[in-house]
Structure 1
Amino acid sequence: MDHTSTAETDLGDGLDDAAEQPDDEVAEQRRQLAEELGLQIKVQRTAKKLTRVQLAAAIPMNLKTLQRIENGDTAANINQLFDICRALDIAPSDLINPAEKKVGIKGRE
């Protein structure tokens, strides 16, 4: 029987730490960034004359997931973002740079 205590095995995910919870401003920026990234994906997709069905098949990705990303309902994770960029034959910066400028995200100084 394993006698290791929960405290010893719990590496912590930070979810219970109030200091790590994003404040309202950060949460809003994240929401806006997800929305803008989705818009940039749609702009790039339509510029290449691809339908969502075609892009989803090329990735491959569930169509509903792609719709939710493009609509800004969910944020693409790094793997999804990479796969989308690969399928669109663009660099991730082609999506991220316009989105971050629109949202007004600045690096730490």
Structure 2
Amino acid sequence: MIDNQEVAVAELGEWQQVESLKKLDDTQENPFAQTKRIPFYLDKPLHITLTLYNDAGENVVTLINEDRKRGNHFIYFDTSSLEKGSYEYRLEGESFSLSKEVTIQ
């Protein structure tokens, strides 16, 4: 496991609205790339966490732990300090939990 501060997080933006309640999309990068982009959508303002877990289910890093407004968001994170393998990223709010898998090579 790595220290949370070893994973660099580049902030975020908004993009075009989508028709959905809450949505967590797949990363949109090459598995060999050192930077991953995670897009997500919130149907209302919420306090959320976006956390990365290793294949043993251990918390590797919390990427977001804050209030976010309604709409489309994304986050970039640097994976260069992570070991190769499969990870799960999980978006959680007061009444939901969504997760997807990402491969680091």
Does the pair score TM above 0.5? no
More strand as a share of residues: 2
Normalising to structure 2: TM-score of the pair? 0.29
Please identify the structure whose Cα radius of gyration is greater. Answer: 1
More helix as a share of residues: 1
